[in-house]
Amino acid sequence: MASIKFKKPPQAPPLFTHTPESLIKDTERFIDASKALQDKIVKDVTPENAQFKNVLLPFARDDNAMALESHIIGFYQAVSVDAKLRDASTEAEKKMDDFAIEASMREDIFNLVDAVFKKQKDDQDLDAESRRLLEKDHKGYVKMGLGIPAGPQRDRFKAIKKRLSELGITFQKNLNEEQGGLWFTPEELDGVPEDVTSNLKQGEKGTANEGKLWLTFKYPDLFPTQKYCKNADTRHKVFISNENKCNVNVALFKEAIVLRDEAARLLGYPNHATFRIEDKMAKTPKTVDDFLGDLRERLAPGGVQEIEKLKELKKTETGSADKYFLWDHRFYDTLMLERDFQLDQNRIAEYFPLQTSIEGMLNIFEELFGLAFVKLESEERNAISETGKGDDIVWHPEVQVFSVWDDEGEGNGFVGYLYLDLFPRDGKYGHAANFNLQPGFITENGTRRYPATALVCNFSKPTSKKPSLLKHDEVVTLFHELGHGIHDLVSKTIYSRFHGTSTVRDFVEAPSQMLENWCWTPSQIKSLSKHWSHLSPEYKQAWEASAKDGEKQPAADMPDDLIDSIVNTRHVNDALFNLRQLHFGIFDMTVHEPASHKDVEKLDASVTYNVLRHELSKLDGPEALGEGDAWGHGQATFGHLIGGYDAGYYGYLSSQVYSADMFHTVFKKNPMDGKEGRRYRHTVLERGGSQDEMQTLEDFLGRKPSTESFYKELGVS
């Protein structure tokens, strides 16, 4: 990492000194201020004299100011160790949401925005980003029903919006609080790793479950069982029960798709998918359906071939394989990786100590994008904290802070703050994600406000004998989330509304998915890795104490055979994996573009879900055992379709098309080309969502994007 010396940044980092009381007070203060501004503008401005600068600009500046506080207030619920602070953060978030809905349905404000829109939508004096803000704001009000004349229809639309919000919250709560599971004997769990079974709840003495273990449907129990349990009956039971673990959501899902369709028709759209996709890169459902249909056609033969190979493996194991079941797949897929490709995940992890991997990644970003990361230790933290106390600029003692700068070639300017919060804690957000803490924007007096961004992860903690070690897929996850963080840091927009990752849903993953390619490139795997026993004399001693007699200390560099085993398994059974993604995407489109409202009312979502899965993946389900098509309710466990990815799940696949195109066209021949890296930084990452994302892509590629690289990568071109 760059050895640039500590220098004091031009902007102090945010403080994390809130209390539960101050969170609520702060939230109420800026909501009141925002409401007062809205009332003042409505009082002072008429549709006749409404202009961008006296209506939209003051609102945009108010958004900028609010975002400096509101993101952090909502962030506490994901990271605070204090349950009261987490609860206050959730309550504050709800207050902000309610205020946002209320504000977005104010007809008096819409009338002013509508007047500006009619006058200025083609005004060449407005810069392009301001014109985009005007168009997006105007469209936002129309989509909240303000284009419907006041009266029964608008009231109905409003009622639907409220009910959909309730359905979403209840559906997700049911999933989060789901407590199901099954009792098994240790024999029935043969093959499941001991570190999983040893943590399972045991049946009480004197009950029917004495001597049995309680297996839940949470990922840490579910996935290892599907991957390693040798008993096919157990895998079968677990699979079916997991698909039926949240059947209270069946009716909620159905109500949601029917209400969405009704709301879209009230706004004059033929269905919900048309309403949702219009503002995304794809623009129309037809574009999405054509893309998914084409991908289906190309992947289908590969899926059939992969099943044949997996059936051969099943046959050598069990003696017969006329069927290949849904509950067989993870088991034989895992067995194939270990047996045919010598993929030894535990040995690989020895070469990915967390801190080494992070330093390697930051080095890559320094070299590619012309950045410099300066880790801030206690004295430096004290020097830049507004209170003079370094502890006040972090929310937990384990958090690492970096000040980020441009290198000499980029002008030595300040870029922003990066935080890493890497280990699990009680009450902490359970996955890996990037959170914007403060966006960047241009202030009223023309100076730049710099961003702050945080990576929140859950990697295993280091012990006195061993550092935290990452599996290769965790290295990919870390790189991916850090990609979002860099997008957030280097973005330069006028308005916070378009900062960083604030792009359309079917593009936002592309920049991070592109950076994942570095984790599959042999030279970069080498630069990210180092055997943990070489990190310090203490670790060397710890390794020697645990080594077998006569065992030599491994070399620091990862051996080539291990690197090959990682690279060679990237696309094993890829057709089946992508057909599973296609099943989700095509199901999503099917329920959101019915031919008529009657059709969606009649639709049986469970049967549709199961029939589509069988048609697409060709894996056998209970229907192959004569049990019909209504055996499971997978859609009731599918949080994405209620939580914002409705008529949008295809975005995971389409952004992979863009990321593969960018990587193969520009970086494949030399992933460390700093000239292209800087061009990518300035052409793609810097723009955020401030212009049409398709334009951003075309500027970088020099042409319209193509699916060729994506298909080539999958071996189906």
Burial class of residue 420 (count of CB atoms within 10 Å of its CB; 0-12, 13-18, 19+): buried
Which tokens belong to 239?
């699979």
Taken as a whole, the chain contains a residue count of 717
The DSSP bridge partners found for residue 417 are: 403, 452
- Helices (H), ranges, 244-327: 249-266, 272-277, 285-318
User: Max CA-CA distance within the chain?
Assistant: 88
Nearest to 273 by CA among 284, 259, 258: 284
Q: How many degrees, rounded to 5, is the angle at CA 146 between CA 145 and CA 152? A: 70
Per the rule left: phi > 0, alpha: psi between -120 and 50, beta: everything else, 342 is left
**Three-state secondary structure readout of 335-376:** HHHHHHHCCCHHHHHCCCEHHHHHHHHHHHHHHHHCEEEEEC
Q: Is 107 a catalytic residue?
A: no
Which tokens belong to 259?
């209400």
Would you say the C-alpha torsion 142, 146, 152, 158 has a positive or negative sign? positive
* Amino acid making up residue 121: K
Contacts of 600 (CB under 8 A, 6+ apart): 257, 258, 261, 591, 594
Cα gap 334→341, rounded to integer Å: 10
Which one of the listed residues 188, 243, 350, 481 is annotated catalytic? 481
φ, ψ for residue 603 (rounded to 5)? Answer: -60, 130
Cα gap 248→237, rounded to integer Å: 20
Using the 8-state DSSP alphabet, how is residue 684 labeled?
I
Which tokens belong to 478?
């870390």
Contacts of 615 (CB under 8 A, 6+ apart): none
* Amino acid making up residue 106: R
Cα gap 462→468, rounded to integer Å: 4
Residues 370, 678 contacting (CB under 8 angstroms): yes
Which tokens belong to 5?
């010396």
Could you tell me how far CA 716 lies from the centroid of its own chain? Answer: 27
Residues 654, 281 contacting (CB under 8 angstroms): yes
Neighbouring C-beta atoms of residue 527, cutoff 10 Å: 19
Q: How many degrees, rounded to 5, is the angle at CA 588 between CA 584 and CA 590? A: 115
Three-class SS of residue 538?
helix
Would you say the C-alpha torsion 701, 703, 705, 711 has a positive or negative sign? negative
Residues 324, 619 contacting (CB under 8 angstroms): yes
Per the rule left: phi > 0, alpha: psi between -120 and 50, beta: everything else, 670 is beta
Residues classed as catalytic: 481
